[in-house]
Amino acid sequence: MYNPQDFASKIKSSAKDKGKTVASVLKECGLGKNTVGKIESGTDVGISTVVEIADCIGVSIDLLLGRTQYLYTTDNIEKSAPENIRSAIISKVITMPEARLDRLLGFLEGLEE
């Protein structure tokens, strides 16, 4: 289950693991310096903000949200899919309703078996 404090903590620890400060990540993302504090206090952020933070740190969204402990980096993604395919997938996922995201995740997990 989603926990905003865990999400904020994971942002902080992932940034540190990558040798970055939270402030530098937020600046790189073009986000306000209080973004992580707002997340920690329970303020909802859009999926585009979550994607931007994950990309700036270089980790997966699932890692930040605590849905996986595996470190999937954006470097791995870039090596495994051509730019046009990756961009098309990301643009579809960003605008997808939550119910469809759950179905998509189930489908993708089924591909791994």
For residue 42, the domain's CATH number is 1.10.260.40
- Residue 64 near residue 14 (C-beta atoms within 8 A): yes
> Rounded to whole angstroms, how far apart are CA atoms 75 and 50?
17
Q: What is the pLDDT of residue 32?
A: 92
Q: What is the pLDDT of residue 96?
A: 78
Same domain, yes or no, for 32 and 52? yes
Mean pLDDT of 77-99: 70
Same domain, yes or no, for 52 and 2? yes
Domain span including residue 61: 1-72
Domain count, the chain: 2
Cα-based distances in Å from 61 to 67, 69, 80: 8, 11, 17
Q: What is the pLDDT of residue 82?
A: 59
